[in-house]
């Protein structure tokens, strides 16, 4: 599906909203006029000031590029009329100017990428649930532990791993609301490397634990056959170790910077 993108947007931003006029639009994969979709893009600018800032930065980038081109044209036109020593001085000055312009362009591109990441994260939070320092997004599809983990990483997050009792309660409540009261979901915890030494996906030792202790024997009890942790919504958020090959639903978590 092609996406209509505004490439020339004139925006005036106040404290609470941005008023934008989309002058030129193109499709993401096929260049074409598509200004009939400008109304939607203008609404996005109004509702997301970050987009307005990106449009303004893109405009600044274009201006900087035009400036670099003008400097190069000016050098080519003036070079034959100058003495060698003056030409060298001009070359040195213009080179430093070009480097500074390039640095500004790189800074703008980096800021644009950061804003795009923040916007994507906001979209995740709107679809899922925001808790302190994290956004959670449930996936009802049943998958093995490794597949679920890889899918979360591909989205820019990791399998959820509660760091406190409060986070575990919030995760359990979200699982009940989004996946059902009897759902079991994978946690981003395992003891694959060393039996009994539970770590998160970054390899950091687990400090908070909520294993089911009322079962006989208490969890974790699977030994080397069960190396992946799962949370049970029906058991009030208690954990158990299970075979990593089993298929469970999952919740991805995304750090809020």
Task: Return the number of other C-beta atoms located less than 10 Å from residue 30's C-beta.
Answer: 8
Q: What is the pLDDT of residue 88?
A: 56
Per-residue confidence (pLDDT) for residue 161, from 0 to 100 = 96
pLDDT recorded at residue 10: 55
What pLDDT does 125 receive? 77
Residue 88 tokens read as 């060298």
Tokens 């298929």 correspond to 247
Q: How far apart are CA 148 and CA 187, in angstroms?
A: 10
Q: What is the CATH number of domain 130-255?
A: 3.10.100.10
Q: List CB contacts of 246: < 8 A, sequence separation 6 or more.
A: 144, 145
**174, 136 contact by CB (below 8 A):** yes
pLDDT at 196: 92
Q: Which of 178, 50, 39, 170 is nearest to 122 (CA)?
A: 50
Delimit the CATH 3.10.100.10 region(s) of the chain.
130-255
| Residue 70, pLDDT score | 64
Structural Rg of the chain based on CA atoms: 27
The per-residue pLDDT string of the chain (257 residues; one tens digit each, 9 = 90 and over) reads 444 555 555 555 544 445 555 555 554 444 444 444 444 444 444 444 454 455 455 555 655 666 666 666 666 665 555 455 555 555 555 677 777 778 888 888 777 766 666 665 666 777 889 888 889 999 999 999 999 999 999 988 999 999 999 999 999 999 999 999 999 999 999 999 999 999 999 999 999 999 999 988 899 998 899 999 999 999 999 999 999 999 999 999 998 86
Q: What is the pTM of this model?
A: 0.56
């Amino acid at each position: 599906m092609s996406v209509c993108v505004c490439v020339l947007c004139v925006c005036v931003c106040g404290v609470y909203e941005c008023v934008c006029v989309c002058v030129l639009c193109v499709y993401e994969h096929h260049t074409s006029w598509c200004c009939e979709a400008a109304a939607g893009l203008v609404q996005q600018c109004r509702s997301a000031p970050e987009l307005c800032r990106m449009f303004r930065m893109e405009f600044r980038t274009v201006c900087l590029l035009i400036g670099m081109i003008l400097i190069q044209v000016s050098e080519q036109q003036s070079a034959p009329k100058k003495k060698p020593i003056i030409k060298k001085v001009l070359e040195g000055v213009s080179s430093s100017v070009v480097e500074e312009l390039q640095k500004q362009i790189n800074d703008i591109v980096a800021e644009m990428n950061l804003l795009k990441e923040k916007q994507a994260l906001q979209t995740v939070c709107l679809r899922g649930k925001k808790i302190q320092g994290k956004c959670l997004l449930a996936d009802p599809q049943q998958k093995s532990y490794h597949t679920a983990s890889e899918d979360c990483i591909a989205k820019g997050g990791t399998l959820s791993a509660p760091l406190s009792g409060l986070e575990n309660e919030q995760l359990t409540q979200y699982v009940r609301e989004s996946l059902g009261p009897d759902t079991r979901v994978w946690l981003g915890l395992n003891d694959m490397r060393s039996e009994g030494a539970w770590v998160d996906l970054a390899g950091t030792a687990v400090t908070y634990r909520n294993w089911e202790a009322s079962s006989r024997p208490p969890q974790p009890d699977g030994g080397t056959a069960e190396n992946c942790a799962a949370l049970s919504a029906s058991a009030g958020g208690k954990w158990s170790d299970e075979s990593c090959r089993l298929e469970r639903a999952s919740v991805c978590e995304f750090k809020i910077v």
